[in-house]
Chains A and B, each alone.
Chain A
Amino acid sequence: MTQINASAIHEVLKKQLEGFKPEVDVREVGTVAQIGDGIARCDGLKGAMAGELLEFVGEGGKTVYGMALNLDEHEVGAVLMGDITLIKENDTVRTTGRVVQVPSGRAMLGRIVNPLGEPIDGKGPITAEGYRPVEFRAPGVIERKGVHEPMQTGLLAIDSMIPVGRGQRELIIGDRQTGKTAVAIDTIINQKGNDVICVYVAIGQKASTVAGVVQTLEKYGAMDYTIIVAANASDPAPLQYIAPMAGCAMGEYFMYTGEDGKPAGESNPGRHVLCVYDDLSKQAVAYRQMSLTLRRPPGREAYPGDVFYLHSRLLERAVKMSDANGAGSLTALPVIETQAGDVSAYIPTNVISITDGQIFLQTDLFFQGVRPAVNVGISVSRVGGNAQIKAMKQVAGSLRLDLASYRELAAFAQFGSDLDKATQSTLNRGARLVELLKQGQYVPYPVERQVIAIFAGTKGFLDDIPVESVLRFRDGLIEFVESAHPEISKTIIAEQKLSDETVEALGQAINEFKAGFTAEG
């Protein structure tokens, strides 16, 4: 047996403790006056800050952390973020001098963490590069610039008509089981190779659902550039409440920092980040629970008065930075679940008014087989238009109008069969366009393929293809153009627009493919 001497052990232990400096700490202390429902009311602590991390020392010296929220004249109301059963009345509570913060850094990529940044994936500790406050001031006007680069979701229906730009806040809203998460996951998968860091924040979901998402992302190789922040349904309300802010803070690290880990600036570009908050209605419910137990007065639907401020503060942190600040961006995709399509409830109206547009998903469309079930009539993107590439604007310009007139006529067409020629052709075109925009899950299309497909639809190349063959035609066409005429895709990517020559070449290629396709079918 090898002999290990005591001095070697001593060395190792000493090395581990190198950073430790014994010091007398001076901190404000108070006592817990009352505890219950995850809320502690504390005496003393006259100097506590709003949102400060408090340290509760329970039986046997076990510490539980809390966050100071109500600063009253004689007491401080705090929410506990750990095992609430450990703390009793008369226990001591200490201030820590720091607001709630989370570890951040490149080591977080590919990891699943709780809202406090602690790993929960069993892959060992995370070597953080620093800490960022959970509540962070959003950049002001001077530090920003207009949204102008596309954040491709890879979904035809969205990238063509409801384009999302980097730095935008686009709401995904719909009833349960309409594919809200699917849109978000597809977008994350589509960022592969685009140098975008993704943060997926799961709030109040079942642990099994989160595990499913992780599995999907792993399968499509998307975990390498993704951080998952999970506050499951079984976690205390305060954790669900800070989860989106914590995820945002972890994402902000990449935006404010260059690839080399130094602060972003003119010569050191910041990174692009995509944050998905799935979903903010659960966060609002958690915040409502906290507020009511803290005895803050309830307002509409029993939500506290500042629930609007809670969401606007969070979403205002989505930003496109100016060149002087590294030109990084943070795009927010908040998700809201509606009840029976009711968008006039409190939280949906709030978040709709805060965001720069919404993607509306509907149950009836979903069951009609239109998937993604995007209602393009009421979905909008208020700033994304500037972010679309020119080629997409050229082909998709008439798409929205064509679909709108189709919907208008489709309602009438149900009554009679005697239709004039113009109506007939509008209906034909519309039915084919609706079919064209259908897309499977986890198969995002790069933008040049989208341009080819939509070009075929809006320029009337599909009008003589049977509706049920449109999807087969679209996929076949894309494959054909990529293999037989690869220069077309290359030109679209290089020029970012469709020149007259490209239009002609593309038209010819489609006719060429169509000749083979019709014969085949």
Chain B
Amino acid sequence: MTTSESIGTYARVLFELADAAGDVDAVDAGLRTVMETVRASVELRDALADSALPAEKKREILSGIFSTSVAPEAVAIATLAIERGLGGSLGAIADRFSEIAESERGIVVAEVTTAVELTDALRGSITEKLAAALGRPVALRERVDGSILGGIRINVAGRVLDGSLSSQLDAMRATLSNASQGGEA
């Protein structure tokens, strides 16, 4: 089996587990948490890739870190993938999982970041507009982040629609500092 096929298999199994447990979103978020944590820590990455370390130990390490905060299905699949030497493919598994979840449930998850909580009216209109643009029903995953100052940032289907105040200020700053650098030919 090629890596690409095993990634598909892991993602498919995880989706079926998550679907049975009835919380696909939590598993999706959990898998991403595991992936990001493993990537961000060199010590953890090295420990998990160390062939001298018994599988038992690796399992203990992972459950020690993630058991309280992450959906158990996600931890189980991530552990299995790491044990089988697919630790580097966690990102691909997470991507494949999202794809399967989208096609199975027929909805697209859009991550919406705003500076303040969304009102119901706003939520409704965003969902409606996104659904019209993508041609599929949309589920919102909301995040509040004061650092974008205002406006909205929507992360959907691998793209970012950035209408945040902070990035517009950044663009303005760039324009000012490059004022004399000339235009496009």
A127 is contacted by which of B40, B170, B180 (Cβ under 8 Å)?
A: B180
Tell me whether A43 and B160 are in contact (CB under 8 A). no
Chain B: which residue is nearest A104 at the CB level?
Answer: B185
How many A-B residue contacts, CB cutoff 8 Å?
91
Residues of A within 8 A of B181 (CB): 103, 125-128
The proximity string for B residues 155-185 relative to A, scoring 1 for CB distances below 8 Å and 0 otherwise, is: 1001111110001101110011011111111
Nearest chain A CB to B176's CB is how many angstroms away? Answer: 6
Nearest chain B CB to A334's CB is how many angstroms away? Answer: 27
B159 is contacted by which of A29, A126, A129, A132 (Cβ under 8 Å)?
A: A29
Residues of B within 8 A of A104 (CB): 185
Tell me whether B175 and A22 are in contact (CB under 8 A). no
B127 within 8 A of A: no
The winner among B36, B95, B182 for most chain A CB atoms within 10 A is B182
A88 within 8 A of B: yes
Residues of B within 8 A of A45 (CB): 158
Residues of A within 8 A of B158 (CB): 28-30, 44-46
A61 within 8 A of B: yes
Instruction: Please tell me the number of chain B residues within 8 Å of chain A, measured between CB atoms.
Output: 32
The complex places the Cα of A17 from the Cα of B181 at a distance, in Å, of 13
B92 within 8 A of A: yes
Nearest chain A CB to B47's CB is how many angstroms away? Answer: 16
B89 within 8 A of A: yes
Tell me whether B168 and A22 are in contact (CB under 8 A). yes
Residues of A within 8 A of B95 (CB): 43-44, 74
Residues of A within 8 A of B155 (CB): 29
Residues of B within 8 A of A131 (CB): 182, 184-185
- A residues 288-309 touching B (CB-CB < 8 Å): none
Chain A: which residue is nearest B160 at the CB level?
Answer: A29
A20-B175, A24-B162 in contact; A130/B36 too (CB < 8 A)? no
Tell me whether B183 and A130 are in contact (CB under 8 A). yes
Nearest chain A CB to B153's CB is how many angstroms away? Answer: 9
The proximity string for A residues 23-38 relative to B, scoring 1 for CB distances below 8 Å and 0 otherwise, is: 0111111110110000
Tell me whether A17 and B182 are in contact (CB under 8 A). no
Tell me whether A132 and B185 are in contact (CB under 8 A). yes
The complex places the Cα of A253 from the Cα of B108 at a distance, in Å, of 46
A103-B181, A129-B185 in contact; A28/B40 too (CB < 8 A)? no
Nearest chain B CB to A174's CB is how many angstroms away? Answer: 38
Nearest chain A CB to B11's CB is how many angstroms away? Answer: 12
The complex places the Cα of A30 from the Cα of B92 at a distance, in Å, of 12
Residues of A within 8 A of B88 (CB): 33-34
Tell me whether A34 and B184 are in contact (CB under 8 A). no
A342 within 8 A of B: no
Tell me whether A16 and B168 are in contact (CB under 8 A). no
Nearest chain B CB to A259's CB is how many angstroms away? Answer: 17
**Interface footprint category on A:** 35 or more
B39 within 8 A of A: yes
B4 within 8 A of A: yes
- B residues 23-61 touching A (CB-CB < 8 Å): 36, 39-40
Tell me whether A27 and B159 are in contact (CB under 8 A). yes
- B residues 45-92 touching A (CB-CB < 8 Å): 88-89, 91-92
A26-B160, A30-B158 in contact; A43/B180 too (CB < 8 A)? no
Nearest chain A CB to B81's CB is how many angstroms away? Answer: 14
Tell me whether A74 and B182 are in contact (CB under 8 A). no
- A residues 135-188 touching B (CB-CB < 8 Å): none
Residues of A within 8 A of B168 (CB): 22
Residues of A within 8 A of B185 (CB): 104, 129-132
A16 is contacted by which of B4, B7, B162, B176 (Cβ under 8 Å)?
A: B176
A94 within 8 A of B: yes
Tell me whether A61 and B170 are in contact (CB under 8 A). yes
The winner among A88, A89, A104, A105 for most chain B CB atoms within 10 A is A89
The winner among A16, A24, A61, A90 for most chain B CB atoms within 10 A is A24
Residues of B within 8 A of A88 (CB): 40
Known: A27-B160, A103-B181. 17 other contacts (CB 8 A): A16-B175, A16-B176, A19-B179, A20-B175, A24-B161, A24-B163, A31-B91, A34-B39, A44-B158, A74-B89, A89-B40, A90-B39, A94-B160, A105-B182, A125-B180, A128-B181, A132-B185
* 16 pairs of residues in contact across A and B, judged by CB atoms under 8 Å: A16-B176, A19-B175, A19-B183, A20-B175, A24-B161, A26-B161, A29-B155, A31-B36, A34-B88, A46-B158, A73-B4, A74-B95, A88-B40, A89-B40, A104-B185, A125-B181
